[in-house]
Amino acid sequence: MPAPDSNPLAGSDGAVKHAVAPSLADVVRLAEISAAASQAFSQLLDSTIVREMRDIAVHLAATKREIGKLQANDIKNVRIPAAGNELKAVTRSTEAATNTILACAEAVMAADASDPARYKALVDEKMLQIFEACAFQDTAGQRVGKVVETLQHIEARVASFAAAVRAQDTPGPANDVERERAERRRRLHIHGPQDGGAAPDGSDLKDGRQAEIDKMFD
Amino acid sequence: MAIDHAMPVLVVDDYSTMIRIIRNLLRQLGFENVDDATDGSAALAKMRDRRYGLVISDWNMEPMTGYELLKQVRATPEFARTPFIMVTAEAKTENVIAAKKAGVNNYIVKPFNAQTLKTKIETVFAA
């Protein structure tokens, strides 16, 4: 540490070196060099930023176009409610037909067969009602066809959107309700009806599954 | 063990149509004394009021499933030995194993026919 009275401008030999004041020309020259250098840097920076901003703008415009092509409002407000209504109508018509058929069967089973002519007339009448009730299958098939069409419409748009934005799936449920529902289904082993074939994990029972289950109870 | 066809049978299903179908099949098999409930908790309430000789239950119901009903039944001393048949569209092996572990007496996959129901009831009461 220097002694308190030592000169900070003194060299190691103790000699004082006097600073030379820069001339105005030196300052101007330095300023010109600095400005030229910073201008070149700014131009480089500007062109990079502008290019990146342009790329981002192009990407945003493309994403916006893809979002528009999704027709999310049409899907949410028109197509999904319409598909839901079609499925509700299928359920209603199926239920109505089943109830009609059951009622006919119950009437035939409860009928008094002691008078053959009367019994036959009743059976004929109930069979006719069963045939009529089975006509629901035609309209139900058409309604289900419309729902399948809606699903294909949504699938095509979502697939196009996912490809355009190179979407990466985030695994897991989308919200708490979905999470709770999935957890309940897992905890209570709720899977719903299975297709005839085995699941990809091979864990479900194949065709003739009742026979397989029976073996588990032997 | 001979089957007492006069015993009360409880059918638990959230679809009234399925209840009606099972009720008719049971009638054909000679069981006239059939009650019904639309979920596990409603079934438990009925079981507290009446002693049933057989419970036939669906699996997937709200709010209480047939699987939860089965576990509750087996955990309640007065119902613990009540024969319990699961009739369900749940056909995964894990479901059958879970039901067996919980104490189910037999398991029928929907759709089913009268013969299957008859055989299963006979098997349960023969055991």
| B21: nearest CB among A95, A102, A194 | A102
pLDDT digits (tens, 9 = 90+) for B4-54: 999 999 999 999 999 999 999 999 999 999 999 999 999 999 999 999 999
The reply to whether residue B89 touches residue A105, judged by beta carbons under 8 angstroms, is no
Residue in chain A closest to B61 (alpha carbons) equals A190
**The token pair that represents A157 in the structure block:** 């748009």
Residue in chain B closest to A106 (alpha carbons) equals B24
Q: What is the pLDDT of residue A211?
A: 86
Q: What is the pLDDT of residue A201?
A: 42
Tell me if ipTM is over 0.85: no
Calculate mean pLDDT across residues A22-36: 88
Split at pLDDT 50, 70, 90, the class of A6 is low
pTM higher than 0.95 for the full model? Answer: no
For residue A102, the chain B residues in CB contact (below 8 A) are 17, 20-21, 24
CA atoms of A190 and B50, how far apart (whole Å): 29
CA atoms of B92 and B89, how far apart (whole Å): 9
Residue in chain B closest to A191 (alpha carbons) equals B90
Lowest mean pLDDT among A12-16, A146-150, B38-42, B116-120: A12-16
| B17: nearest CB among A95, A188, A189 | A95
**The token pair that represents A56 in the structure block:** 């981002």
pLDDT digits (tens, 9 = 90+) for A41-100: 888 888 888 889 999 999 899 889 989 988 999 999 999 999 999 999 999 999 999 999
The reply to whether residue B17 touches residue A205, judged by beta carbons under 8 angstroms, is no
User: Cα angle vertex A163, ends A81, A171, to 5°?
Assistant: 70
